[in-house]
Amino acid sequence: MPQDVFVVAYDGTDQHAVDFAVERAIRENAQLVIVHILEWSPYTFLTTEELAERHKARQQELARAEEAVMKPVLERVRRAGATADGELRYGSAVDILCSIAKEKGAAMIIVGRSSSLSTRVFGSVASGVAQCATVPTVIVP
Amino acid sequence: MSFDRKTQPIPLVALLLFFTSTTSAVAKSIDETINEAVASVTTPFVSFIFSPLPGTDFPWIVLWLIVAATIFTIYFGFIQVRAFMHSIELVKGDYSRPEDAGEVSHFQALATALSGTVGLGNIAGVAVAVSIGGPGATFWMILAGLTGMASKFTECTLGVKYRNEYPDGSVSGGPMYYLSKGLAEKGFGLPGQVLATVFAVFCVMGAIGGGNMFQANQVHAQVVNVTGGSDSWLDGRGWITGLIMAGFVFLVIVGGIRSIARFTEKAVPFMAVLYVGAAIVILIIYADKIPWALGQIITGAFTGLGIAGGVVGGLIQGFRRAAFSNEAGVGSASIAHSAVRTKEPITEGFVSLLEPFIDTVVICTMTALVIVITGVLRIDPQTGLYVWDAGAGRIATEGDLSGIDLTSAAFGKAISWFPYVLVVAAVTFAFSTMISWSYYGMKAWTYLFGEGRRSELAFNSMFCVFVVIGAAMNLGAVIDFADAAIFAMALVNITGLYVLMPVVKQEMNSYLDRLKRGEIRKTKG
């Protein structure tokens, strides 16, 4: 029987969600896909200078995210005994989490919960994913 | 060329500050002195660029622009019509590949290029065209905008195709690169190098003239206008407004305070919408006069309506102001467009052809309609023809206004408080145009003199000094130099475009074939 895949949203801080995912993955012998999203809209405004340097800046941002976010979390997860892959993507967090879950045929999405005034007003990634996900979604406090 | 950044600009600032405390009469003479000194240097260049065709009054450079836009339109089979909808789909991101997320999108390249183009040319330039050339100039301006879409398409495709990509991932593109690399491919290595160098020289001048002095000049005119007109303390003290603006420009381009640039450039689309919105409101208020105004524009275009320059005068003004406003054929926009991430350079060409449409066919036309419809141009009640003010060389206007002041008066007639909004819009447009052009000018400058802190500082400091000079000079002298510099760029750029247009055609045909066969598909929607 093929392994189940759990998609885990990781913004660099929500350790609770990762810990929960690791525990479940070990118990159910599932594979984790840890997703870190660099928020990006193709409709934001850039100055002429930023245009010329965008490709360079993107490469630097990806390298930094890989080094500072993805590598440490993957190490931690693997040390804990789970199998995991990482995905770094640009775009809107909610859309990308839902589309990766589809791409990978995931059985579950696990996402942390943040609480601040702005998320209460504009909605959080967790509430967005809950709206668009086509698979069961666990929101970890 | 060496330039000591610590010492050089300070004596100039000190000198100007010294004059701040002097009397009004002396202060007035500072503006006049600057005007005379600069005009004496620029006049021969201006006269050459605008010299008439033998035996006529028709400037050869205007014919050059008309011929180029017409040739590109026909050569690419009216691509501006055929690809219009596809261009909009590209901007919407319908064809963007998900793996390119995080790179410069078509929308971003277009928005940035537009914030450099939508400037005082749309507000002040149009007023100049209509007051000198009559309402008929509007017709020619729209025609120039529509045909200019093909010129823009050509140059922006080439900008992406022949850009330089450096190992660190940054890019440099624009006419300097396609003229040198593209022409070398065609076996014209040396002429290509020469054209690229000459273009770079004119681009530096264009950045200073059109991208800087004209903008500063018209901002000052607006500031004087809302602070009391000829009674304003600032009247005749353009150099003071200039110094303040130069200070801000300096903070951005030398001090590297990008937040100011980001703020103003982001405000441009908002201001443009506000401006067009106000124009639409005015058109609704004067709805009953719209057929009359359209009649004036069409009749004016073919009869002249008693304007001294007649039909030809309107045509010249229409094409001059359109080219100045949308920069089609000038080559500047291809510098901004060349940064987009795409495997198909032609897609950026498609996107860029929307630029003259938005800039000229939409925004400039709105300005022209408001000026005509609100009746700020004087009409002789007996003959029904416009009253010609021979002394000023234009149609007599209410309050004897010209340039941006005329636009302001026209908007103010319908919406009394709009002139204040217009000042904010003018400052925003002018500032973002200055920042964009400082970048274009800098790219040309470093192409000529090499990159490096000293070289960049030399250009940036010079750029700031010209903000002051532009604000102090008379509109007539500034606009002539600004036009001459921008058109000189078009002279060189278009020469190269003629040689390279088969390259664009090949790319275009291959792309359109694949699109038709379904090999290029939408990624969403």
Supply the CATH number for residue A89's domain. Answer: 3.40.50.620
Residue-wise DSSP of B172-227: E-SHHHIIIIIHHHTT-HHHHHHHHHHHHHHHHHHHHIIIIIHHHHHHHHHHHHHT
Domain that holds residue A136: 5-140
Position A94 scores a pLDDT of: 87
pLDDT band at B372 (very low <50, low <70, confident <90, very high): very high
Please answer yes or no on whether A45 and B436 come within 8 Å at the CB atom.
no
- CA–CA gap between residue B64 and residue B66 (Å, rounded): 6
In chain B, which residues have their Cβ closer than 8 Å to the Cβ of A45?
Answer: 108, 111-112, 115, 262, 265-266, 269
Q: Is the pLDDT of residue B16 over 60?
A: no
The arithmetic mean of pLDDT across residues B180-208, rounded, is 94
- Check CB contact under 8 Å for B335 and A48: yes
User: Which of B111, B212, B137 is CA-nearest to residue B367?
Assistant: B137
Buried b (16+ CB within 10 A) or exposed e, A87-106: bbbbbbbbebbbebbeebeb
Residues on chain A bordering chain B, Cβ-to-Cβ distance under 8 angstroms: 38, 40, 42-56, 58-59, 61-62, 89-91
Average pLDDT over residues B17-23: 45
- Name the phi and psi angles at A62, rounded to 5: -65, -45
pLDDT in tens, A25-51: 999 999 999 999 998 888 888 888 888
Banded model confidence at residue B504, pLDDT cuts 50, 70, 90: very high
- pLDDT (tens digit per residue) in B269-287: 888 889 999 999 999 999 9
Residue in B closest to A99 by C-alpha: B98
- Left if phi > 0, otherwise alpha if psi is -120 to 50, otherwise beta: which for A83? beta
Q: How many domains are there within chain A?
A: 1
Does A133 have pLDDT greater than 70?
yes
Average pLDDT in the B377-382 region?
86
CA distance to partner chain B, nearest, from residue A113 (Å): 25
Percent of chain B past pLDDT 90, that is, above it, reads 44
CB contacts of B352 in chain A (<8 Å) are: none
pLDDT of residue B281: 95
Interface of B with A (CB under 8 A): 93, 96, 98, 101-105, 107-109, 111-112, 115-116, 168-172, 258, 261-262, 265-266, 269, 335-336, 339-341, 435-436, 439-440
ipTM above 0.95, yes or no: no
Confidence class for position B202, pLDDT limits 50, 70, 90? very high
Determine, for residues A55 and B116 on separate chains, whether the beta-carbon distance falls below 8 Å. no
With a cut of 50, say whether residue B15 has pLDDT above it. Answer: no
Residue A112 — very low, low, confident or very high, per pLDDT cuts 50/70/90? confident
pTM for this prediction: 0.86
Residue B258 pLDDT greater than 80, yes or no: no
**Which of the two residues, B185 and B340, has the higher pLDDT score?**
B185
Minimum mean pLDDT among A68-72, B8-12, B300-304: which range? B8-12
Residues whose CB is less than 8 angstroms from the CB of residue B61 and which lie 6 or more positions away in sequence, other chains included? B49, B50, B487, B490, B491
CA B4 to chain centre: 32
Closest partner CB to B103 (pick from A43, A54, A89): A54
Q: Which of B178, B500, B122, B173 is nearest to B323 (CA)?
A: B122
* Max Cα distance, chain A (Å): 53
- Please indicate whether residue B430 or residue A126 has the higher confidence score (pLDDT): B430
Cβ–Cβ gap B104/A46 under 8 Å = yes
In this predicted structure, what is the pLDDT of residue A106?
A: 86
What's residue B34's pLDDT? 81
